Amino acid sequence: MVRTTGRLVFGGSGPATEQQDDDDKLQQLTKEEGNRSKAVAELLSTEKTFVSEMTAAVLVLQQGLVPFAAAHTRFHLLVEVFLEPLRRYGAELAAEAEAAAEDRADAGKARLAVTPEDLTVIFSNVEQLLGFNRSFLADLEAAMAAGGQGAVVEVFLKAAPFMRMFSVYVNNFDRAR
């Protein structure tokens, strides 16, 4: 004899046991949904923080409100403080080197301290990652507002091909050293 939910049931099978199985499955589903909801909320929070910091860094750097050391936010630091100034510097050096080389017999053979290829190796695809993260966050926020977890799955399916950009960045790390 098995006691379930206040009833006596003989043999351990039948409607009461099936009800208990259904209750257990429902409880498990509810727990999984709760875990999914927590994971989605954490993902959304992390993306918001990431994009918010990058956006704040751009404003700070563009307006010159704080010194370099205070503008220390992830990829924007790389792009706004290092990559773009180095590109400008590299272009200036290239123009100067080319002008100087034209005056000498070794025209076209000037070696720059920082070439565009060097910058590509060092900074890889951080600019594309910034754009992706902004778009991904906007899509996540819209999905959460519109339809919750199911809509979030659609956002991931749409974004999945673009997430390969992160592997390019990570795989280029050793070359950039």
Extents of the domains making up the chain = 43-176
User: pLDDT at residue 14 above 70?
Assistant: no
* Count of alpha carbons within 13 angstroms of residue 107, beta-carbon side: 5
- Alpha-helix runs per DSSP H in 64-125: 74-76, 84-102, 116-123
What pLDDT sits at residue 5? 47
**pLDDT 10s digits, 74-126:** 566 667 777 778 778 877 877 777 777 666 655 555 555 667 777 777 777 77
User: pLDDT at residue 168 above 70?
Assistant: yes
Which two structure tokens, joined as six digits, stand for 40? 């989605």
What pLDDT sits at residue 4? 46
Burial tier of 101 (Cβ tally within 10 Å: 0-12, 13-18, 19+) = middle
Whole-Å CA distances, 11 to 4, 17, 21, 22: 12, 10, 15, 18
**Dihedral angle sign, alpha carbons of residues 165, 171, 175, 176:** positive
Residues sharing a CB contact under 8 Å with residue 69, sequence separation 6 or more, in sequence order: none
Q: How confident is the model at residue 157 (pLDDT cuts 50, 70, 90)?
A: very high
Q: What is the mean pLDDT of residues 45-56?
A: 77
Q: How confident is the model at residue 16 (pLDDT cuts 50, 70, 90)?
A: low
79: which DSSP letter? Answer: I
What pLDDT sits at residue 110? 54
Q: How many CB atoms lie within 10 A of CB 151?
A: 16
User: pLDDT at residue 1 above 90?
Assistant: no
Smallest CA-to-CA distance from 169 within 129, 114, 117, 116 is with: 129
